[in-house]
Amino acid sequence: MGIIHFWKINSPYRFHNLLHDTPLKFPFVDENTKGYFRLFLPYYKRVDAELARLTACDPCVTIDDDKGDQEL
């Protein structure tokens, strides 16, 4: 397609630059965020709380090579 022709990457990706890249602060969207993304803050908080609740204990489904596949 002519529209995405110029999006083609013609060289290898510079993975070595990622090693020296500074990490983003977490959470990326917080009370100090201004503009459009601040509107999503209640949803991010709700999802974070739900993920914390779901991962509070050890995982219930694990992969154990000795026992074979387990049903979900």
pLDDT digits (tens, 9 = 90+) for 29-42: 888 888 998 999 99
Going by pLDDT thresholds of 50, 70 and 90, the confidence category of residue 12 is confident
Asked, for residue 67, whether it belongs to a domain, the answer is no
| Structural domain boundaries enclosing 31 | 24-58
Asked, for residue 12, whether it belongs to a domain, the answer is no
The per-residue pLDDT for 24 is: 74
* Of the listed ranges 14-18, 28-32, 57-61, the one predicted with least confidence: 57-61
Q: How many domains does the chain have?
A: 1
17: which 2 tokens?
Answer: 């630059």
Position 59, amino acid:
P
Residue 48 · residue 27 · CB < 8 Å? yes
Residue 59 · residue 72 · CB < 8 Å? no
Paired strand residues for 64: 68
Instruction: Give this prediction's pTM.
Output: 0.45
Query: What does the pLDDT average to over 17-32?
Result: 80
